[in-house]
Structure 1
Amino acid sequence: MTHHDLTGRTALVTGGAQGLGEGMARALAAAGATVVIADLQDEAAASVAASLGEGHGAVHLDVTDEAGWEAAVAAAVERTGRLDIVVNNAGVEVSSLAADVEVSDIRTMLDVNVLGTALGIKHALRTMRPGGAAGHGGSIVNISSVAATIAFPGIPIYSATKAAVDRLTRVAAMEAGKLGWGVRVNCVYPGLVPTAMGQGLAVDMATLGLFESPEAAVGAVVELTPLGRLGEVADMADAVVFLASDAARFITGTGLSVDGGMGM
């Protein structure tokens, strides 16, 4: 057994039906955790859960809905009697120049990225703390972004919401520690990964006139990255497994940059 072994633990991953969330769910399962995928995409979530093998599951969740969170964590606890890991990964990004932001897009990103993460932290803490439905402590991993640490054009509101995820993480970690709840709260700052969201972002940058082409936008990101490449899903997933594991047992309230040095 290694410090990264998650055997016997239960993890809930939001937005786990595709992209980074799917990769995180697969990595947690590979480390031994029982994984519950919480997503709006019911069929895709169920398909991913089934592909992980027996014991894993999926639950419908709109992260902006409090009743939905109550049902999702209850379903995770009912599956194994535990909830040890919550990964708040679900997020949305709408590109725009700061001079052209739409109120509806601002509200969407605030609702999913900030409210959704805040509710995930809330219900994870209430479930994991002493006296909660699981009550054995645990680890919360929130997914921020390198956009929270740099001034990259075309994503002003997304960047602001991901900076908010960092602040939520640190305050929740402080409270959980001070109150002796045994829950660690950390976040990850992923760099650009060529998932559907990442590829869409590159197209948006060209559409906004910030770069000559999507390829030029990607090239600019690579040029800003000391390690000289885009991120991979596995890079982000491995970081989540680490923060969820006993290898990170004395780490809380931190933001782990997994961006090839782009945000240094």
Structure 2
Amino acid sequence: MNRLDNKVAIITGAASGFGEGMARRFAEEGAKIVVADLNMEAAERVAAEIGAAAIAVKADVSKRAQFEDMVAAAMEAFGRVDIMINNAGYTHRSGDMLGVDEETFDRITDINMKQIYHSAICVVPIMEGQGGGVIITTASTAGLRPRPGLTWYNASKGWAITATKSMAVELAPKNIRVNCLCPVAGATGMLSLFMGEDTPEKRAQFTASVPLGRLSTPLDIANAALYLASDEAAFITGVALEVDGGRCI
């Protein structure tokens, strides 16, 4: 235990799903947590349940000013930022790529792509001054094995994977490790959008594509993120870790 003792982690989209799983798991291992989310009520619930080691911050990660405020809150509360988790995500509903309106497309790129840019601008100077740090992005199997119906979402996650690898090379001399997770779909709030509709038949179809025979859980993703954030992964950077029950084989 205590694999993240005295570490400070900012986790976006941390009020539910994978982000909440990471926040709780990281706190169990000794980290101080910034629970960042658009849903402030839910973020406050998660932070309160974690206890004194967590604060809640409302943040739209597509907005630079709000990202800066989030990082400033972390510094004010805890004095440092060791781990930046870009977990907030957005998708269009599965369907014809020509049916996705421009507003939805822009929101996908703002959340899934621009968030990573904002995080780099805001936390890399802090991490460099501290002597190092870790940046982890929740990408997706969709960025590795795209499937029809989610074209623009797939593309945003492919971008996230490439950005991760390029950042890893450029930031390695600063002792900043950059990795991403590629989960298969899990039972989170976005599942119905990925499937087009949430029915027992659709769930069975999705599950059948996973060799280990189930969808992912927040704990699956949290444990993978914990490893990448910990000193156990000190020599690992630039990876897109598949947490997918064999889906991408």
TM-score if structure 2 supplies the norm length? 0.95
1:107-163 Cα shifts (integer Å, max 9, x gaps): 110111111122123322122113xxxx23111110001111113221111110011
Question: Aligned residue for 2:166?
Answer: 171
Asked if 2 retains the 8 angstrom alpha-carbon contact of 1:166 and 1:255, the reply is yes
Question: Aligned residue for 2:133?
Answer: 138
Partner Cα separation in structure 2 for residue 121 and residue 159 of structure 1: 22
Aligned-residue offset at 1:200:
4.0
Partner Cα separation in structure 1 for residue 192 and residue 5 of structure 2: 34
SS at match of 1:117: helix
1:60 is matched by which residue type in structure 2? K
Q: 1:149 and 2:148 equivalent? A: no
Superposed, 1:106-145 pairs within 5 Å as: 106-130=105-129, 135-145=130-140
Aligned-residue offset at 1:182:
1.2
Question: Aligned residue for 2:43?
Answer: 45
Partner Cα separation in structure 1 for residue 193 and residue 103 of structure 2: 19
Partner Cα separation in structure 2 for residue 163 and residue 217 of structure 1: 24
Q: 1:240 and 2:225 equivalent? A: yes
Q: 1:255 and 2:240 equivalent? A: yes
Superposed, 1:1-264 pairs within 5 Å as: 5-95=3-93, 96-130=95-129, 135-177=130-172, 180-202=173-195, 204=196, 206=197, 214-264=199-249
Asked if 2 retains the 8 angstrom alpha-carbon contact of 1:22 and 1:48, the reply is yes
1:94 is matched by which residue type in structure 2? H
**Once the two structures are aligned, what percentage of the paired residues are identical?**
37
Aligned-residue offset at 1:68:
1.4
Asked if 1 retains the 8 angstrom alpha-carbon contact of 2:80 and 2:126, the reply is no
Partner Cα separation in structure 1 for residue 229 and residue 209 of structure 2: 29
Unpaired segments of 5 or more residues in structure 2?
Answer: none
Runs of 4 or more above 4 Å deviation: none
Greater shift in the superposed pair: 238-247 or 92-101: 92-101
1:164-218 Cα shifts (integer Å, max 9, x gaps): 11011111111101xx21110000001110112114433x1x4xxxxxx732322
Partner Cα separation in structure 1 for residue 37 and residue 189 of structure 2: 16
Aligned-residue offset at 1:45:
0.8
1:17-69 Cα shifts (integer Å, max 9, x gaps): 11111111111111110001111111211111011011310112110111111
Partner Cα separation in structure 2 for residue 83 and residue 136 of structure 1: 11
Partner Cα separation in structure 1 for residue 146 and residue 203 of structure 2: 16
Alpha-carbon RMSD: 1.5
SS at match of 2:190: helix
1:59-115 Cα shifts (integer Å, max 9, x gaps): 121101111111211211221212100100001111231232211211110111111
Asked if 2 retains the 8 angstrom alpha-carbon contact of 1:189 and 1:256, the reply is yes
| Length, aligned pairs only | 248
